Amino acid sequence: MKENKISFLEHIEELRNRLIHCIIAIIIATVVLMNNKKIVYDYIIFAPSKKDFITYRILHKFTNPFFKVHSISFLQKNLEIQNRQIFGQFNVYIWTCFIGGIILSFPYTFYEFWKFIKPALSDKEKKFSIKIFIIVPILFMLGILFGYFVLFPFLINFGYYFRISNVPKNIFDLSDYISLIVHSSLSMGIMFLFPFFIFFLTKLELVSHLFLKRYRKHAFLIMLVIASAITPGDILSTIIVLIPLLILYQISICVSFSISIKK
């Protein structure tokens, strides 16, 4: 079979075209979000700041039967969010729509990445890479959803109810609120890609399932540090982040083991 070899400059040209396609996709997604401002902000961004957000309703439903005497408080009233900068709302508008554009276009940008490396793969690797192409965007979106529906509500609930005194009033700043929701969602989206990174490291023979098992305790300490870094450091939020990290680590061991068997 005759192989079609292309030069280094043709590789660069191909990469440039793929990057342009990705940028165009991000711009289109950003413009779509900018033209749907009410949906983006009233129904998505600021939804967790309202006491009737689905996470708070579920927590009320499942915790109140166990705490009949002292009910657990989960955002009893809507958060007060203020803007203190002249162009604060405009800057937030541009920034969040751009980040949202990156998230929405991620499946397509990953597809462009896959198309770029596809010619260098063998027929067997191409078949296996299709599974990766499907799994990676799903993992990323699951991480985003976990950060949005689970981690972020717990963080703002903790920030709202924590008191050093009754004198200061907790009125959240717009930029802090946006930074927290973006940080929570994106960080968990990246964390959920951990099995994907382990897959590549195993393929490169840099790690193995035996290595991951041997250093499980060390990995636990690292994950604990990461969970503490993502959260304010309170025990509940740290545990909320740590649980999926432990599950992902175990999944990564299974992924690495399956690759080792196939070799």
Q: Looking at the predicted structure, is the pLDDT value of residue 23 above 60? A: yes
- 85 near 175, Cβ under 8 Å? yes
Q: Looking at the predicted structure, is the pLDDT value of residue 114 above 60? A: yes
pLDDT of residue 121: 65
Return d(Cα 260, Cα 211) in angstroms, integer: 12
H or E segment and range at residue 172: strand 172-173
- For the ranges 188-202, 211-225, 249-263, the lowest mean pLDDT is seen at 249-263
pLDDT of residue 135: 86
- For the ranges 87-96, 142-151, 154-163, 184-193, the lowest mean pLDDT is seen at 154-163
What's the chain's average pLDDT?
86
- The pTM (predicted TM-score) of the whole model is 0.85
In this prediction, residues 157-171 reach a mean pLDDT of 85
Q: How many CA atoms lie within 13 A of 108 on its CB side?
A: 17
pLDDT of residue 72: 55
Sign of CA dihedral 202, 207, 209, 212: negative
pLDDT of residue 70: 47
For 71-91, how does the pLDDT look when each residue is reduced to its tens digit (9 = 90+)?
456 788 889 999 999 999 999
